[in-house]
Structure 1
Amino acid sequence: MTLRNVTVIGTGYVGLTTGACLASLGHRVVCADADPGKVERLRRAEVDILEPDLPDVVRAGLASGRLEFTQDTRAAVEKAEVVFLCLPTPMGVGGAADLAAVEAVADEIRDRLPRGCTVVNKSTVPVGTAERVAALLDRPDVTVASNPEFLREGRAVHDFLHPDRIVVGAADPDAARQVADLYVGIDAPRVLTDTAGAELAKYAANFFLAMKLSFANNLATLCERLDADVDDVIAGIGHDPRIGRAFLDPGPGWGGSCLPKDTHALLNVCEESGVEFPLLRATIETNVEHQRRLVERVVAGCAGPDGSLRGVRLALLGLAFKAGTSDLRDSPALAIARLLRERGAELYAYDPAVSERRPDLSDLLTIVDTPLDAVDGARACVVLTEWPQFRDLDWAAVAGRLGTPLVFDFRNILDPGRLGEAALSWEGVGRTPAMAS
């Protein structure tokens, strides 16, 4: 087993998970971040993000001496054999990925990289980025590779240590094998390719997952029109191994830190390449239309005499883009909230992972401390994140606080029977109370 000196630049979800998990595999890892406060907290094993098992892995790495944190990016790479770039690539103008952070770091470390080291793009980047980074580095003695991450928030540590596959792309096959060999002891298929293949694999994966979710949401609408139960239909197709059950749960639309920006970035790549990909465009448009359709259902059930939600108080349960994380980036819950607010609704929201008041959301909604605070006097309750604790709420108490006994369960996680016993009316996605019972 060959243990390496590894530097990870960026300590977000991907960077911190990558650094801490590589240290747990025995490598010597330095994680660099430009935020001095964050570096100091990480040195004390204080992890800001909500991610199961990650604080434990960070503590273990620090205790073993194999994991350290620094703000000095240039010094961090001086002894590195492998340098991972785990930097933000947000959606930029026209949907293209904004590579400013990647380019800035490449410029910063250019003259400090040791001869023969490998720079690895871990961030999700457009095809051609590895070549772009190589040109910026202008170091023929340094190889640039692509090793896209396939980590799910809420399961990032598990996914790193138990991946479905490890994809590495490099022009030099030996460099690709060297990067793949970092995952020592992990039993997973290795896909070794060139950088274009690795970069496109990440975008293709996220597009396909988004497409399945848009399909499920559109299917749910069809089920509502035809009095069919979407759960039964999905069960009927999900057992087919060619289709699979994963990512077929209807809900309030898809979102999060990856799918929206990556589908738009891929669409931008298609346009620049002169390739028509109507399925990709339809996947994005279907998601937007689905959210509008859900909002119209709330309007139909809660609108005032003027047909609007002006002055109507609504309770939102859930703000994070999915349960198990506090991440609000491109959350479908917030997309629904914005559409409701545009119709005039006054929104009060509760999320177990979002407790602090958020100044950036103050014009949109009010965050409260408990679910009962959210529903107090509300015209309806709208469930937008699949937190399991919402199933176990005292729904009789909720009914006593709601102004109108109406619950929109846009995650299909509640028991309509229990709500019925509390004299509450339940509406799901692609299901009726009778079907759910």
Structure 2
Amino acid sequence: MRIAMIGGGYVGLVSGACFAEFGTEVTVVEADAAKLAALRDGRMPIYEPGLDKLVEANVAAGRLSFTGDLPAAVAGADAVFIAVGTPTRRGDGHADLTYVYAAAEQVARALTGYAVIVTKSTVPVGTGRRIAEIVQGVRPELEFDVASNPEFLREGAAIADFMRPDRVVIGAATDRARETMRQLYRPLYLIEAPIVFTDIETAELVKYAANAFLAMKITFINEMADLCERVGADVHDVARGIGLDGRIGRKFLHPGPGFGGSCFPKDTLALVRIAQDHGAATRLVETTAAVNEARKAGMAQRVVSACGGSVRGKTIAVFGLTFKPETDDMRDAPSLPIVARLIEDGATIRAYDPAGMEAAAPLLPAAVQYCTGALDAAQGADALVVLTEWNEFRALAPGRLAEAMRGRVIVDLRNIYEPTIMRGAGFQYSSIGRR
């Protein structure tokens, strides 16, 4: 089979490379000339473990190619995946579908025969139907189907998630479309991965519902962490005690400074707007989004309080900038409001992130000093703040941190260190939801 993937960003590039690994002939269309040149040169525009080798192998095998010529890529394709960005629309919180609809119109003009037009981007309910209307308006005579195939890729583990998924959700209206999609995912039948076929509207909503539920779990355990601090309990024991209940599950019960990334913040807000448009209440999701934003903003105050009520004139080391480890994604990262607030309050910031400093630089105040390593960031610092739980930070010996730092304040917003060990090493150590 042959497919075109419109968009060489995170979703399109990972999905395209994985489909090629399945044996499908894949052409990824990227409109950005600089990104296209990088891809053709074998340079990945994103950080994702193993992606460079997967792309290299499939390009060498002739199954994966990159182009800026959409009509050439689409002509003769069995399926065309739309994997362009759907950022939050300014002013109202809705998903901005400008790129999706523009791609649909271009695809309609370029198709030379029957194909399934598949939304891989996260799109609101009703988008698939609107794409069908756009295509019919451009090419009334064209045979085509529209399908929804939302992605469930965790940054840092995206390849494994695609190749060995918990489930694949496909929304389609015709047997012909379902059979095309079934053939594309045929390798997953061999490992008995669940393939869930639904109507288009249901598939579109599944993605938003899944992300909103996970965001609520994170927000719930963060609020429980705050309560643990007040009553003298340990949030990790609470999380384990409830997570072993099979109805709840252990994942996404890790306390921290709030969720960020490319999905949860914008998708929770978009789901609220979808519900409002249709007159349905989503109070839990609304509260989740509001509580999370307030939490990220309030984490800086924890640092200020740990430093005696003021950070003016103090040097603060920051470990980690990305919203999670194993990615360079800075979208809605908790580090953005926290670092900005600390600088506003007069602190000098020395930051280190293994993958995200280049992406962080345009988003953070220019005063941030970027360092070559964790110990370099800690050198001469009055306080240390852990914002991302990269494994290399966990491995640092307390003694080496003590030698590098001038002060002894550590604010661990990811709970990567043991309190008794850090306090035994002479640190004034504080974390989230622990005694």
Q: Tell me the TM-score range normalised by the shorter chain.
A: over 0.9
Task: Provide structure 2 residue ranges, at least 5 long, that are not aligned to the other structure.
Answer: none
**SS of the counterpart of 2:411?**
strand
Q: Deviations over 1:242-261 (max 9, x none)?
A: 00000000011101011001
Alignment partners' CA distance in 1, 2:341 and 2:143: 52
Q: Deviations over 1:36-56 (max 9, x none)?
A: 332233233322321112112
> Is 355-364 or 396-405 further displaced after alignment?
355-364
* Separation of aligned partners in 2, 1:293 and 1:111: 50
How many residue pairs match? The answer is 426
| 1:18-45 CA distance string (max 9 Å, x none) | 1111111111111110123322332333
Q: In the TM superposition, what are the counterparts of 1:376-415 in structure 2 within 5 Å?
A: 376-415=379-418
- Per the alignment, residue 345 of structure 1 pairs with 347
Aligned residue runs from structure 1 range 287-436, under 5 A = 287-303=292-308, 307-356=309-358, 358-363=361-366, 365-432=368-435
Q: Which residue of 1 aligns with 2:21?
A: 24
Structure 1, unpaired ranges of 5+:
433-437
What's the CA shift for 1:404?
Answer: 2.2
TM-superposition CA deviations, 1:338-372 (whole Å, max 9, x none):
33334333322111113548244343622221223
Taking structure 1 as the reference length, what is the TM-score of the superposition?
A: 0.93
Q: What secondary structure, in the 3-state scheme, does the structure 2 residue paired with 1:225 have?
A: helix
Q: Partner amino acid for 1:251? A: G
TM-score by length of 2: 0.94
- 1:155 corresponds, among 157, 165, 174, to 157
The Cα shift of 1:235 comes to: 0.9
Structure 2 residue corresponding to 1:270, chosen from 266, 271, 275 = 275
Aligned to 1:435: none
Deviations 1:195-239 (A, max 9, x none): 110000000000000000000100000001010011111111111
In 2, the alpha carbon distance for the partners of 1:419 and 1:6 equals: 53
User: Quick one: which amino acid aligns to residue 10 of structure 2?
Assistant: Y
Distance 1:389 1:274 in 2: 48
1:115 aligned partner, one-letter code:
G
Counterpart selection for 1:221 from 200, 205, 226: 226
* Paired residue type of 1:230: V
Distance 1:408 1:13, change over 3 A: same
Residues 426 and 133 from structure 1, CA distance in 2 versus in 1: closer, same or farther, beyond 3 angstroms?
A: same
- What letter is aligned with 2:216? M
Say if 1:6 and 1:80, in contact at 8 Å, map to a contact too: yes
3-state SS of 1:26 partner: coil
Q: 1:51 and 2:45 equivalent?
A: no
Residue of 212, 216, 230 corresponding to 1:211: 216
Note if contact 1:256-1:329 (Cα within 8 Å) is conserved in structure 2.
Answer: yes
Contact 1:168 1:180 (8 Å CA) reproduced:
no
Partners in 1 of 2:179 and 2:315 — Cα distance? 58
User: In the TM superposition, what are the counterparts of 1:103-114 in structure 2 within 5 Å?
Assistant: 103-114=101-112
User: Distance between the aligned counterparts of 2:337 and 2:245, measured in 1?
Assistant: 33
Q: The residue matched to 1:209 in structure 2 has which SS?
A: helix
Question: What amino acid sits opposite 2:196 in the alignment?
Answer: V
Any conservation in 2 of the 1:256–1:332 contact (CA below 8 Å)? no
Preserved contact between residue 71 and residue 110 of structure 2 (Cα < 8 Å):
yes
1:89 to 86, 97, 120: 86
Task: Give the aligned CA root-mean-square deviation in angstroms.
Answer: 1.7
Residue 45 of structure 1 contacts residue 62 of structure 1 at CA under 8 Å; is this kept in 2?
no
Question: Is residue 72 of structure 1 aligned with residue 69 of structure 2?
Answer: yes
Q: Which residue type is aligned with residue 130 of structure 2?
A: R
Write the distance in 1 (CA, Å) between the matches of 2:108 and 2:78: 14
| Cα contact 2:78–2:180 (8 A) shared by 1 | no
Residue matched to 1:122: 120
CA distance in 2, matches of 1:43, 1:5: 19
SS of the residue aligned with 1:231? helix
Residue of 188, 195, 198 corresponding to 1:193: 198
Shift of 1:311: 3.1
Q: Deviations over 1:361-404 (max 9, x none)?
A: 34362222122332233331000101011112243232233332
Matched position secondary structure for 2:328: coil
Q: State whether residues 252 and 336 of structure 1, in contact with CA within 8 Å, keep that contact through their aligned partners in structure 2.
A: no
8 A contact 1:177–1:192 mirrored in 2: no
The separation in 1 between residues aligned to 2:78 and 2:31, in whole angstroms, is 21
